[in-house]
Structure 1
């Protein structure tokens, strides 16, 4: 039994200092931190690319276990990138509680693909394999090559084919890749099942299928069908499950989670000195529970100084994948009222348009338009329009466009949009108007740095041309310039609205400031050309300025300042929506 006394005193004399020493040693060890990490000898990969893979970064607590682990990590990284003979060494220096790490890298030469041999000659894989010749034999190349072959076989009817790769290294630089294929048997589509549908009738989903039971299996067709369903904007999630059956059939299960079908949007804006814009949009992507798209829009522009107003309303009904899934059929019914210092009129519009995706990102639209215009007041010399009478316009329209822009609200990748639009009115179609209208539009986006610095270039050319030497255009459809959607800094139609030709050029650079907040510097240039006039550089309008942009999930809020270079003025604006 332990007793206190002199022995206890002696214990305190020896044990307490020992405890203090141990705790101080632990504390000192825990306070050793990485002061800096130096990378030397790297040529192919940047310092940041290597440091991003380290656990011991600047400011981290130092542990020898992590030090050696980081060496292995870098060595593995170089091996996966095709640098099989890379050599990594490292050392560290201690100065008090600061540790400096130096990593020396000898990269050597990478392995490159010289030849690819396929064990089964019945598959024509040359188109797939030839694009890998001369590439560095990296982990990503192996994965891409393997998945490309599996996708090829999966689209030829083979279900879950097996592909393995092996390599032979020659002269420490060249690689011969050997591909072994176990394709299995050709399979066919079996039962096609759907779960999770509550409000949408299954028959409207099945009628959009591009394959049926008994067709040869193709994974590409399944993936394209899922994309088609997502494009309807009524499904939040679609999971595909595959079941292999004994009769060489593949049953499919589409497990679907429905999304909200209806939406409401608003459009507001203000441009100094007194132009106000407001509107709303309502839509239903599952109208009548038949996957029809019904949309109503209303846009209004008011200039309080000039006693001007414009009211636009439009009802749109679209049937996606119409006529054997080949077209999208769109019907529009619109009403428009406008009053300014020169005219007051009403317009009724109807159009029926068909759109077909020719191939990925390429689209073609064609159709018919009919418009009725009633001018109550018309104080425009030479307009050729009669007052107090419904004037008829019969039009054929066609539009061919390419669009590979992924994020429409705020594109950050290299992409572009090209549109060629034509409207033919009158002549053999009869009616009170006769003209040929062209609208040619293109936009380029260039990612300058890590999707944070984006350069933009936009050009738009519009023109009215005569048919059989006759040119008669409704006054309200003549080209207008000015406003937050073409030449910023001017009021809506502030440059003019009686042009027969116009060119608009927008150059800008967008910089990401914080999360969804961007700033844009821009230059807008444009000119409108009236009938029987020619281009005159003295009539060019140019503005420059800055714009703040906040990106919401479904819209862009823009607030900006523009200086009028041509007319020596300035303007402020607040609006929702893109300029291009």
Structure 2
């Protein structure tokens, strides 16, 4: 019986085993072991014969220095011989990683056909004449190196034992521990499975509250007569422990009391790595740290608990950014932002933005501005809810109306579950609006509330969704003053869903996706002219119906392109998204919808638009360029629209 250490899993995991390459003196010449300069380099090509096992073939390919280094400078004969000898060990390790302990590797070096001495030399890796034979070859020839691996019989697992650190005392695993361990007699002796079983058991023991648990790399005993591999796993379980004192280091500007309130683990709680990692990730998600770590010492405290220390590296507190966007209807918008990411030491974010809007838009009568200050406060007034405040000054010169307004908003977003959240708040607005030659001032108060569901599981709003559903249901009770008091409510439902053609087996995941969107809105309690123009419903543009200018769908003033606005809206979209290569993609879409003057949706003239666009995928999201045309254009409507933005439209 032969005792071996199972160290071959690196190859099985697709990572070449690291080893010295005796060809480090590569170039037009190399140095032999005696220091004698060898002749000029020998170019060569390498071919590995398939074994019939694709995973094993991939491991052999990734392990071969001859193959991976053949495109570097040609090496001298002594360096090439060393590279061949090194490949024997690497390829044999790859075979053993897959359970083939009686495998055989043959490497054959051949001269080109037609050479004056057409000789094939097969090496076993120890041929002392190999360098001299290589040195005798003309340097103008390109050699062919063929690698063939014979697997031999597949070894299977024999006896699998778990013992204490003394390698003698048996350790009996509980049923949950045995399930995590997972190894069974008779399974193929694949090295990756053997080492993964130890890691899985180690994780299970620590998750049960044993912070000092350790499962060592097993000792493997080959039994050539039965083609089996016996395994002996040394295990240290150690005592159960609770989390002890929790230390915080690296907090220069952040309030430690805020961090402790935010933390999802506490002293006295059972030590579980998954809970600690979840707490670490939650703290990292605040956006004020460039790095968050969690570490424990290698021994328990005198009281039997396990101390825990969170380490922080605070990110830059101030950032400056730019914002640019363009569409033919709304024109260009350009401006900058300044953000303070930790205003009072509790992860508050203050963002100041100034934008110039309406640069050359077909739905605009001139330049406008949008200036606002946003304050975001996490965990206010309690855990799982965040507060936001905005003070905004805005001027918009649409063809439908001209507006100058000062708006103040305050709201709470509460996380109900991983996929559900709700938001509610209050807002006030003082505005002056000029529409069709009539100027009026309005004072409004709003109390918006919404319920949102998202199962797309995307990491950020800019990342394209490939599956799941998004639903938003909102209601905004409102009151308008100054021209009598008018009470009304805006009700709206938005839904989108995504279907990946990979579910039908006809594309790779995330490459070909259908996206669907539906919108229904209604104003209850008031007619069109009872509410301010900016509170009415409009169609057209990226948010509803592409191909029509912003506010270009719905009731219009006679003999003009001025929109009146309506009190009902419905729209739908079908979009197909296709990715090409690594960073490119395209989309085609059809939008349809209507705006009515009554409170019931699905009234008015249906307008349909269609278009296509290109996508360039960046690390933060796709850059989108879409062109759309109206299929039943109204009088005085635009013939086409161009949209440029970051992220998909929905």
For the 8 Å contact 2:500–2:510, the answer to whether it is kept is no
State which of 143, 149, 160 in structure 2 corresponds to 1:99: 143
Consecutive unaligned residues of structure 1, counting only runs of 5 or more, are: 1-21
Shift of 1:260: 0.3
* The 10-residue stretch of structure 1 (232-241 or 298-307) with the greater mean CA deviation from structure 2: 298-307
The answer for the alignment partner of 2:574 in structure 1 is: 505
Match of 1:355 in 2: 414
- Counterpart of 1:327 (choices 378, 385, 392) is 385
Take 1:131 and 1:402, find their aligned partners in 2: how far apart are those partners?
Answer: 36
- Over 3 Å counting, the alpha-carbon distance change for 1:27 and 1:204 in structure 2 is same
Do the aligned residues in 2 keep the contact of 1:150 with 1:161 (CA within 8 Å)?
Answer: yes
- Equivalent-residue separation in structure 2 for 1:431 and 1:251 (angstroms): 62
Paired residue for 1:53, among 55, 63, 87? Answer: 63
* Pick aligned residue for 2:585 from 493, 516, 520: 520
Partner SS for 2:276:
helix
Report the Cα distance in structure 2 between the residues aligned to 1:479 and 1:398, rounded to whole angstroms. 23
Structure 2 match to 1:285? 341
User: Which of 210, 213, 236 is 1:182 aligned to?
Assistant: 236
Displacement of 1:235: 1.6
| d(CA) in 2 for partners of 1:439, 1:370 | 22
After TM superposition, give the deviation of residue 569 of structure 1 in Å: 5.8
Matching residue of 1:6: none
2:401 pairs with 322, 339, 343, which one?
Answer: 343
Query: Does the Cα contact within 8 Å between 1:521 and 1:547 map onto a contact in 2?
Result: yes
RMSD: 4.8
Whether 1:399 aligns to 2:464 is no
Determine helix, strand or coil for the equivalent of 1:461: strand
Answer with 208-217 or 80-89: which moved more.
80-89
Contact 1:120 1:181 in 2 (8 A): no
Q: State how 1:154-553 maps to structure 2 within 5 Å.
A: 154-164=206-216, 181-243=235-297, 244=299, 245-272=301-328, 275-302=331-358, 304=360, 305=362, 306-307=364-365, 311-322=369-380, 325-345=383-403, 346=405, 348-356=407-415, 358-359=417-418, 362-372=419-429, 374=431, 376-378=433-435, 388-406=441-459, 416=467, 418-426=469-477, 432-443=487-498, 454-465=511-522, 475-476=533-534, 478=537, 480-483=539-542, 492=550, 500-512=569-581, 518-531=583-596, 534=602, 539-548=607-616, 551=618
Residue deviations 1:501-540 (CA, integer Å, cap 9, x gap): 1123332233456xxxx33322132112222674999833
- Deviation, 1:453, is 8.5
The residue that corresponds to 1:147 in the other structure is 199
SS in 1 for 2:488: coil
Q: Deviations over 1:256-283 (max 9, x none)?
A: 2221012222211334488212233332
Question: 1:277 touches 1:300 (CA, 8 Å); kept in 2?
Answer: yes
Q: What's the CA shift string for 1:445-469, capped at 9, x where partnerless? A: 7899999994444332211157799
Greater fraction strand? 1
What is the Cα deviation at residue 438 of structure 1? 0.9
**CA deviation after TM superposition for structure 1 residue 210, in Å:** 2.6
- From the superposition, tell whether residues 446 and 533 of structure 1 become closer, same or farther in structure 2 (CA, over 3 Å): closer
* Distance (whole Å) between structure 2 residues aligned to residue 473 and residue 570 of structure 1: 31
Deviation at 1:342, TM superposition (A): 2.6
Shift of 1:148: 3.1
Q: Say if 2:94 is the partner of 1:77.
A: yes
Give 1:107 shift: 5.0
Counterpart CA distance in 1 for 2:378 and 2:251 is 19
Deviations 1:287-340 (A, max 9, x none): 122322222345553154541566444433323234563333334444544332
Residue 69 of structure 1 deviates from its aligned partner by: 2.5
Change (3 A) 1:441 1:98: same
Query: Judging changes above 3 Å, is the alpha-carbon distance between structure 1 residues 221 and 542 closer, same or farther for their aligned structure 2 residues?
Result: same
Consecutive unaligned residues in structure 2, runs of 5 or more = 1-31, 113-137, 163-170, 480-484, 555-562
Q: CA deviation at 1:34?
A: 1.4
CA offsets 1:528-576 (integer angstroms, 9 cap, x no match) = 2222674999833111233455x3x767655x46364847966656555
Match of 1:12 in 2: none
Inter-partner Cα distance in structure 1 for 2:605 and 2:436: 29
| TM-score normalised by L of structure 2 | 0.68
Counterparts of 1:215 and 1:54 in 2: how far apart (Å)?
49
Which whole-Å CA distance do the structure 2 matches of 1:473 and 1:464 have between them?
Answer: 15
CA–CA distance in structure 2, aligned partners of residues 444 and 112 of structure 1: 43
SS in 1 for 2:199: helix
Give the secondary-structure state (helix, strand or coil) at the position aligned to 1:358.
coil
